């Protein structure tokens, strides 16, 4: 019998590993762009490799979750994820970066889908909602990774040494946490190779598509926005991303209490409105304070949507939790795949401010979609 407390701590650590590693990469994107002398369109094309790896690995992850325990897939994913993170820092050409980012996306998907399946399994061991707390730890780790990234920028530490140190540290944490993770049996499923959501799960997938589009934009472009639209001094270029991560963490740690008080549809509806207002504020007033406030509003807005959507999907009666999450993610990660590179092309054609204003409209889409889910539930 798994100890609920020990399993909860173990999965919390894996969420920390995922958040810290991904945020470390995102915090140094402006430096990598400068190092490889890339314009916005070129950077957008290269960034396409990471979510492409994510989306192409989704069917593989679904199959693996039907055959092996999610804890084993999670551990393998964590090892490869941190290896790829270390290699990103040593990429000296665009094609090398594309290959490593593709593998980085593949490994991130293996770890994150299995990690979310583990979190839903752990949730069943507790009477109170704890699901958004896991994602809160992800955001808190992301905040820590962004702060370390800011420190590395100001100390002019090369990305190679920065990412290598982070990767090694996270691997050690993973080996420490793995023994007490949840012994979860493989998911049950219809046996399809490509796991797609049914009509009910598709609604959640579309919400996930919109919010992951906003998340991907913030991860990939918030630092560039502060650098080229806000014209922030070099020392605070990462400040917008840090503000976003702080707000996201705060929202996720508050999420479970708010869900108990107002319910999931209401939380997601107002989350969409916050995303719209936050990104629009940053687009209309591109200076450090209003843009920072806008990024914080966006962080609160996106904070709880994905964990709550995954939680609803994980309770599907037609699929096992891992397969249901993979199915919703198949739709959701299309947003993560397609939209951030499009931001690069929009920015090259019309400017970053216009691209952020267009992405802001996805916040309204989220609010509309969840109203449809509520009406038809």
Domain boundaries, the chain: 4-178+195-376
Q: Tens digits of per-residue pLDDT, 67-86? A: 888 899 999 999 999 999 99
Confidence of residue 162 (pLDDT cuts 50, 70, 90): very high
- By the 8 A CB rule, do 323 and 187 touch? yes
Q: Which pLDDT value is given to residue 376?
A: 44
Q: Which pLDDT value is given to residue 329?
A: 74
Query: Considering the chain, what is the average pLDDT of its residues?
Result: 86
Place of tokens 């050690």: 172
- Does domain 4-178+195-376 fall under CATH 1.20.1250.20? My reply is yes
Q: Is the pLDDT of residue 128 over 80?
A: no
Q: Tens digits of per-residue pLDDT, 291-325? A: 999 999 999 999 989 888 877 776 666 666 666 77
Q: For residue 57, what are its two tokens?
A: 């690995």
| Mean pLDDT lowest among 103-107, 126-130, 187-191, 201-205 | 187-191
Q: Which pLDDT value is given to residue 324?
A: 72
Q: Which pLDDT value is given to residue 285?
A: 95
Q: Is the pLDDT of residue 374 over 60?
A: no
Q: Is the pLDDT of residue 15 over 90?
A: yes
d(C-alpha 39, C-alpha 57), whole Å: 28
As a whole-number percent, the residues of the chain with pLDDT over 90 amount to 43
Q: Which pLDDT value is given to residue 176?
A: 96
Confidence of residue 8 (pLDDT cuts 50, 70, 90): very high
């Amino acid at each position: 019998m798994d100890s609920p407390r020990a399993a909860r701590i173990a999965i919390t650590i894996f969420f920390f590993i995922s958040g810290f590693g991904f945020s470390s990469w995102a915090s140094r994107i402006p430096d990598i762009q400068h190092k490889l002398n890339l314009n916005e369109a070129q950077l957008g094309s290269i960034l396409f490799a990471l979510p492409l790896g994510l989306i192409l690995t989704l069917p593989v992850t679904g199959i693996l979750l039907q055959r092996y325990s999610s804890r084993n897939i999670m551990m393998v994913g964590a090892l490869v994820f941190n290896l790829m993170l270390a290699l990103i820092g040593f990429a000296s050409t665009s094609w090398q970066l594309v290959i490593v980012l593709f593998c980085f996306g593949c490994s991130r998907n293996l770890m994150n889908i299995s990690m979310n399946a583990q979190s839903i399994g752990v949730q069943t061991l507790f009477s109170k909602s704890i699901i958004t707390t896991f994602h809160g730890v992800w955001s808190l780790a992301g905040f820590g990774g962004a702060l370390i990234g800011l420190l590395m920028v100001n100390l002019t530490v090369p990305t190679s040494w920065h990412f290598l140190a982070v990767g090694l540290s996270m691997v050690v944490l993973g080996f420490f946490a793995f023994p007490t993770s949840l012994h979860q049996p493989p998911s049950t499923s219809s046996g399809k190779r490509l796991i797609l959501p049914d009509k009910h799960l598709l609604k959640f997938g579309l919400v996930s598509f919109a919010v992951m589009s906003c998340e991907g934009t913030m991860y990939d472009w918030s630092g560039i926005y502060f650098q080229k639209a806000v014209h922030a001094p070099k020392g605070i270029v990462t400040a917008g991303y840090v503000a976003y991560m702080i707000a996201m963490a705060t929202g996720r740690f508050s999420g479970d209490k708010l869900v108990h008080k107002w319910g999931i549809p209401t939380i997601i509806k107002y989350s969409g409105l916050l995303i719209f207002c936050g990104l629009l504020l940053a687009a209309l007033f591109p200076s450090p304070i209003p843009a920072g406030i806008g990024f914080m509003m966006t962080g609160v807005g996106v904070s709880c949507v994905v964990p709550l959507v995954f939680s609803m999907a994980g309770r599907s009666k037609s699929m096992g939790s891992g397969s249901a999450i993979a199915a919703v993610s198949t739709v959701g990660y299309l947003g993560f795949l397609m939209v951030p590179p499009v931001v690069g092309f929009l920015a090259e054609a019309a400017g970053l401010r216009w691209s952020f204003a267009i992405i802001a409209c996805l916040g309204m889409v989220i609010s509309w979609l969840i109203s449809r889910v509520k009406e038809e539930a």
